[in-house]
Amino acid sequence: MLYTQLGRTGLTVSRLGLGTMNFGADTGEAESLAIMDRALELGINFFDTADMYGRPLGNGVTETLMGRWLAQGGGRREKIILATKLYGPMGPLPHQRGLSAAHIRRACDESLRRLGVEAIDLYQMHHIDRGYPSGMAPKWLNLQYMDLIRACDHGPPWEEIWQAMEQLIAAGKIIYVGSSNFAAWNIAQANTLAAARGFLGLVSEQSKYNLATRTVELEVVPACRALGVGIVPYSPVGGGLLAGALEKTTEGRRGSLPAEMLDKYRPQLDAYEAFCRELGEHPANVAAAWLLSRPGVTAPIVGPRTLDQLNSSVRAVEIQLSAEVLARLDEIWPGPGNQAPEAYAW
């Protein structure tokens, strides 16, 4: 395993992060515990979760499962950098979500309790809090109370958020703060206001980023690089799109992707999977290796459902992609071509 620093901090993390979204959902407890043990054996020390992971959503199932793993001892807590997230709904009431100071404090205490730890190394805001007036809530929320909220046309101010995070750090409950799914201007605004308070601010941004989804290269990636915010890509294989999706269908294996998506990307997938065969590498590992080659990227989050998937994924850190290979991948999966505004203006 290779290691690097998380953004501008001195914190050393593995170049692959272990994502736990499948634990307690698609992956049962026994295999989830085995995957975490194996990750340690492989040198992965960056473990990422969220309070709302696991089924049913919002019950803290995955954090609770991880807490049982940590409680086994053997230095497990000392061996990992523990990251979790807050923001999503954690109950049926309107105030049990978002980034209000009240919810930040309550959500942190509940995560600490479920995980059975004294401190969270990286506490991440899962989404920017826009307030969501009636009728504008994201589809995934789908909570009846959202239709009853009228005076909710803005999220909490950064002064409220940063004061709450400062208090958690002072209390020894968290060490670093990160974001996820933030726009570039959110990151810039947050860290400008944090600096004015003499506060470290955001040290990482977890964004959806892969060969097929490169929108963040327009503004998020340049902003993070300029501000010393480590980029932690999630969905490195695009939900299975970049993990040999076509090969699975030709072999008669059941895939999780809808036929419409396969049809949409079929020409690119044909070219990509053929190119990976030329390289002698699994498509999923090429996709992760490509992310590892991108400027500003700290650690892609791999989310294995099985031990075999985890064992296979570490190959990505060993793959060195030449300039010619990178150019060919750009041809198959073209990004925006540059950062903004050069990507679309003179």
Structure tokens at 51: 């309070």
| 324 part of a folded domain | no
Beta strands in the chain (DSSP E): 3-5, 12-14, 17-19, 46-48, 81-86, 120-125, 174-180, 202-208, 230-234, 301-302
* CATH code: domain of residue 120: 3.20.20.100
> Residue 151 pLDDT more than 90?
no
Q: What is the pLDDT of residue 146?
A: 52
Half-sphere exposure of 171 (CA within 13 A, CB side): 15
| 84 part of a folded domain | yes
Q: What is the mean pLDDT of residues 177-194?
A: 98
> Residue 51 pLDDT more than 90?
yes
Total length of the chain: 346
| 235 part of a folded domain | yes
Please say whether the beta carbons of 65 and 124 come within 8 A: no
Q: What is the pLDDT of residue 147?
A: 53
| 336 part of a folded domain | no
Place of tokens 């070219």: 271
Residue 175 gets the label, from left (phi > 0), alpha (psi -120 to 50) or beta, of: alpha
| 308 part of a folded domain | yes
Higher pLDDT, 102 or 250: 102
pLDDT band at 308 (very low <50, low <70, confident <90, very high): very high
Which is nearest to 104 in space by CA: 193, 192, 173? 173
Contacts of 294 by beta carbon, 8 Å cutoff, 6+ apart: 209, 221, 231
Q: What is the mean pLDDT of residues 40-52?
A: 97
Q: How many CB atoms lie within 10 A of CB 279?
A: 16
Phi, psi angles (nearest 5°) of residue 37: -60, -45
Q: What is the mean pLDDT of residues 309-324?
A: 96
pLDDT more than 70, % of the chain: 92
- 3-class secondary structure, 24: coil
Task: Report the C-alpha gap between 170 and 183 in whole angstroms.
Answer: 28
Q: What is the mean pLDDT of residues 96-112?
A: 96
Which is nearest to 179 in space by CA: 85, 88, 112? 85
Q: Which residues are catalytic?
A: 53
Structure tokens at 342: 């050069």
- 3-class secondary structure, 60: coil
Place of tokens 């726009």: 183
- Which residues constitute the domain of residue 148? 3-239+294-319
| 263 part of a folded domain | no
Domain count, the chain: 1
Structure tokens at 57: 């959503």
| 87 part of a folded domain | yes
Q: What is the pLDDT of residue 94?
A: 80
Q: What is the pLDDT of residue 102?
A: 97
| 311 part of a folded domain | yes
- 3-class secondary structure, 180: strand
